[in-house]
Amino acid sequence: MPVRDAEPADVEEICALIEEHAAYEGRHDLKLDRAEMAGHLFGDDPKAWVVLAHPDGRPEVVAGFAFCCWNFSTWEGKPGIWMDDLYVRPQFRRSGFATELLRELKSRTDGRVEWEMQVDNAKGKAFYQRLGAQPVPGWIRYRWL
């Protein structure tokens, strides 16, 4: 199952995946501007990047994606990856795509790969534990809008 970096021609597919993910999560307040997203991903000063997964022999079909940006740990003194979204389309779940996407991210850094997950996501928790990922104890995530 091939995994590759997204390219500018993939913006429409990336936006469709984001919209599908939002619908799956029951989030109907999604604010998404395709031109703006293209600039954030592929403009002169990109702010994020995407890795896409495809079924073997079907490069025209996107099974899922990881939406990421770089972060930096002063404690480790090295860059890591913040994964904002990991989404695999329902028909491709339990086929190894999420694992391959995460392995690809881990191969890109010797620092941390971090993400957040909804508290009540039991399937996600079980999946991440099978990979050896652990919740970060003692930390509360804040957001300032």
DSSP per residue, the chain: --EEE--GGGHHHHHHHHHHHHHHTT-------HHHHHHHHHSSS---EEEEE--TT-TT---EEEEEEEEEETTTTEEEEEEEEEEE-GGGTTSSHHHHHHHHHHHT-SS-EE----TT-HHHHHHHHHHT----TT-------
Is residue 24 among the annotated active site residues? no
> Choosing from 24, 87, 128, 142, which is the catalytic residue?
128
**Which residues are known catalytic residues?**
128
